[in-house]
Structure 1
């Protein structure tokens, strides 16, 4: 029996969603973790529902996963990406507002990279404003007319959670399905969000919606493109196969969830331990205890009463365990900066150096530059140009990038003549000590005009 439901998800998507069910709340922060409820903070076997609800409401997240993703993304974009000289001027102009939302290519790319680093992959689509009417007739005769009317290609990020499925014919992607929310006017002032499924195929696209009263998905619109392929680019950070991936920091995510649960236990333990318990030892069943600053209690013969307090041993053990978890998370999050040997790619490079050290994050930045080049090529194909050009990423991939640690060593090397003044200046700029707006050549000219410093030989 065939399945004609455009919203159905493939088993491969369902498997990835199991990972994202952990990652998404961690990226969303404390509120999202609380919303996940028992899925990420189990209820104790004998714990009452209201007691659990109170414990959940007081639990707070150490945002190790989200901050690690954010910090690594910031390293990749430590300097703005650079468009190559081979990028056509017409495409460079589009890059200043790549998504028709006022974001330039660099700002837009930060979100694409961050989402892929968190989830293992993320997709980008090059859309094009309509150039044909509902009957398929051309609205503009020439590319010049399209440009004059402001009709142009633009980029859209498709997050992994939107994807429903795909099909390949050999190695070629022939179908890609994802959900999207569309805002429509509702009355004079309101808006309503409508979910629809978009189906992309080479040379055409379709959208499906459910009727207002519910029911099956029905096609509500379709259109054609001038391309013979689906204008989709997928950036992988943890590729497991075509359009499938595993978050590269998934083990850190599990440790972060463990810390969330352990922190909740520790807070609950502190709440209990801070309140001493009064025990009364007597065989008199009629004895009544009154506790007040203005009254006294008369104990039966041989009776006793005393406060029992927590020794604090469990609290200390819990605190030590949390500190160990923080250290484990720090190590798991730093693995993207740990360098390993990788052979150079071409024979020409091999003649110059046998190998180079690259961290996984540096390699991801290189792959991301390739993905951006693919996007530029799709734009070029829409505009009838032969080449879209290339992009260069200038990130910071040093595992130790603390200026107070590395700068004294750099200054000592410069004083000893082991590195040039220009290299020292460049390294100072990379560490944010010197403004990026300054230029070495101009600075050197100023130094020559200034003359030697007082006391210099």
Structure 2
């Protein structure tokens, strides 16, 4: 089967709106090489060409652009906060789930590692996706065969730029996915080379309509996999088609995809307001400022030589280049009227360099402040609050993201449970206590004062300091009391002998 015109790789309108932002943050995270190599037509979209700037000068400026990646440092710092403690299943989780959590993606990665990657990508792209799949079995495979082949559900991390289209609908009281298209690129060894294959996976639930044509429900989910094929015509022209290479039902009946949302979803769409977009745009401005300062500093190292009242030496009708250096001699002969020319260097004003450097520093400070805001800003941006953590409160933006991650992971476990024929998935433990005390530098002093007044016990004080990272995570109150007791000088016993002054 092949498709014409709009193929399975067609992108939704929501995707087209989000894609420029995803491309920008992808370039930023990738670093200096990607930022310099980015193209929009013939120009770099992050370093616009100056008016009247020659192509050679512009190419040199872009190739040598300076890029300090503050944005990536911010995202990595924020994304690490919930992972100082292991993301794990609750103690009462069934052993089957705990075993899967040890190798959640079939590639040897623990649930903690998988969750960390999803959290980083979600903050960066505003949304991230988890696909819960099952090892495909041939028809007629028995349960014993499945066990011998270690057939089980596994998770696939799908970053937002790969999800070409998402459509959802209200089914009963719940919003559910009814159509998803995912770009999949495969790489296979071909002798001593390799072959790249472009595929698109399509999940779909056909609408069920009544006699009046109104949608009353949706059919169980199915999947199709299309592969791009290229063929050559007799004229030498190449044509491309998408051929159906696999298809079938999804036995659990639903599309096995779960979103982790860190941005603010625009109602009625699958578009998002990225949580870090201000920081991303400011990083671009910082990139431009740093590059401009570097260019001006380079020009200041090679000031322009001006010859006032000096006629240029012509060679083939063009002014001959003037030699500059310690072994060069420049002449300014008199003009016959007793006057002579002079040579002088024209250099940029040092004050302008100081101003530009201060401007770069101010932008960097502003960028880091934007990166700190998710740790301190209050929010209620929680997509779904389940009974498992109804008592939790999000005191900061990043805590809300951590709770959203917990919700997404538990939804993915619910799909995993469906694949295993179980009624419900386990509870996931995600640390949200990481920002305690960050918004108040006097917090430790206040705790000490409470201890002095007798409002806190020594054990509670130690535990609060442990929460704030002042004490090691290995700190133990009982062990500490024991050590303190051992340090208290005691009365000498008979085995120690008489005091030194008595012995004398």
Normalised to the residue count of structure 2, the TM-score between the two structures is 0.79
| 1:204 is aligned to 2:222 | yes
Instruction: Using the TM superposition, give the Cα deviation of residue 194 of structure 1 relative to its aligned residue in structure 2, in angstroms.
Output: 0.8
Instruction: Using the TM superposition, give the Cα deviation of residue 4 of structure 1 relative to its aligned residue in structure 2, in angstroms.
Output: 5.0
Q: What RMSD over aligned residues (CA atoms) do the two structures have, in Å?
A: 3.2
Cross-structure match for 2:158: 158
Cross-structure match for 1:112: 118
* Distance 1:290-1:158 versus aligned 2 partners, 3 A rule: closer
Secondary structure at the aligned position of 1:200 is classed as: strand
| 1:130 is aligned to 2:136 | yes
User: For 1:272, which of 299, 304, 328 is the aligned residue?
Assistant: 299
Deviations 1:365-408 (A, max 9, x none): 11111111111111111111112111121145427649997656
Cross-structure match for 2:435: 398
* Worse-matched range after superposition: 302-311 or 402-411: 402-411
* Distance 1:403-1:370 versus aligned 2 partners, 3 A rule: same
Cross-structure match for 1:180: 184
* Worse-matched range after superposition: 33-42 or 118-127: 33-42
* 8 Å Cα contact 1:126-1:232 kept in structure 2: yes
Q: How does 1:412-427 map to 2 (within 5 A)?
A: 413-427=450-464
Aligned residues: 442
Instruction: Using the TM superposition, give the Cα deviation of residue 337 of structure 1 relative to its aligned residue in structure 2, in angstroms.
Output: 1.7
Instruction: Using the TM superposition, give the Cα deviation of residue 240 of structure 1 relative to its aligned residue in structure 2, in angstroms.
Output: 1.9
Secondary structure at the aligned position of 2:488 is classed as: coil
Secondary structure at the aligned position of 1:130 is classed as: coil
Secondary structure at the aligned position of 2:306 is classed as: strand
Task: For 1:204 and 1:299, locate their aligned partners in 2 and report how far apart those are by CA, in whole Å.
Answer: 86
Instruction: Using the TM superposition, give the Cα deviation of residue 282 of structure 1 relative to its aligned residue in structure 2, in angstroms.
Output: 1.9
Task: For 2:156 and 2:379, locate their aligned partners in 1 and report how far apart those are by CA, in whole Å.
Answer: 36
Deviations 1:175-205 (A, max 9, x none): 2101011222312x44322110001134421
Cross-structure match for 2:258: 233
Secondary structure at the aligned position of 1:372 is classed as: helix
Cross-structure match for 1:5: 7
* 8 Å Cα contact 1:79-1:395 kept in structure 2: no
Instruction: Using the TM superposition, give the Cα deviation of residue 429 of structure 1 relative to its aligned residue in structure 2, in angstroms.
Output: 3.6
Task: For 2:419 and 2:381, locate their aligned partners in 1 and report how far apart those are by CA, in whole Å.
Answer: 37
Mark the runs of 5 or more structure 1 residues left unpaired by the alignment: none
Q: How does 1:131-146 map to 2 (within 5 A)?
A: 131=137, 133=138, 137-140=139-142, 142=143, 145-146=145-146
Instruction: Using the TM superposition, give the Cα deviation of residue 322 of structure 1 relative to its aligned residue in structure 2, in angstroms.
Output: 1.0
User: For 2:481, which of 437, 447, 454 is the aligned residue?
Assistant: 447
Task: For 1:324 and 1:252, locate their aligned partners in 2 and report how far apart those are by CA, in whole Å.
Answer: 14
The structure whose RCO (Cα within 8 Å, separation 6+) is larger is 1
| 1:97 is aligned to 2:103 | yes
| 1:385 is aligned to 2:422 | yes
Secondary structure at the aligned position of 1:222 is classed as: strand
Task: For 1:45 and 1:412, locate their aligned partners in 2 and report how far apart those are by CA, in whole Å.
Answer: 63
Task: For 2:252 and 2:480, locate their aligned partners in 1 and report how far apart those are by CA, in whole Å.
Answer: 54
Task: For 1:281 and 1:153, locate their aligned partners in 2 and report how far apart those are by CA, in whole Å.
Answer: 81
Instruction: Using the TM superposition, give the Cα deviation of residue 108 of structure 1 relative to its aligned residue in structure 2, in angstroms.
Output: 0.7
| 1:327 is aligned to 2:354 | no
Which of the pair has more CA radius of gyration? Answer: 2
Instruction: Using the TM superposition, give the Cα deviation of residue 327 of structure 1 relative to its aligned residue in structure 2, in angstroms.
Output: 2.1
* Distance 1:31-1:290 versus aligned 2 partners, 3 A rule: closer
* Distance 1:279-1:183 versus aligned 2 partners, 3 A rule: closer
Instruction: Using the TM superposition, give the Cα deviation of residue 33 of structure 1 relative to its aligned residue in structure 2, in angstroms.
Output: 0.7
Task: For 1:92 and 1:54, locate their aligned partners in 2 and report how far apart those are by CA, in whole Å.
Answer: 55
Cross-structure match for 1:299: 332
* Distance 1:165-1:446 versus aligned 2 partners, 3 A rule: closer
Secondary structure at the aligned position of 1:340 is classed as: coil
* Distance 1:407-1:139 versus aligned 2 partners, 3 A rule: same
* 8 Å Cα contact 1:77-1:395 kept in structure 2: no
* 8 Å Cα contact 2:79-2:116 kept in structure 1: yes
Instruction: Using the TM superposition, give the Cα deviation of residue 266 of structure 1 relative to its aligned residue in structure 2, in angstroms.
Output: 0.8
Task: For 1:181 and 1:207, locate their aligned partners in 2 and report how far apart those are by CA, in whole Å.
Answer: 12
Mark the runs of 5 or more structure 2 residues left unpaired by the alignment: 205-219, 232-238, 315-319, 491-504
* Distance 1:216-1:5 versus aligned 2 partners, 3 A rule: same
* 8 Å Cα contact 1:76-1:365 kept in structure 2: yes
Task: For 1:400 and 1:268, locate their aligned partners in 2 and report how far apart those are by CA, in whole Å.
Answer: 43
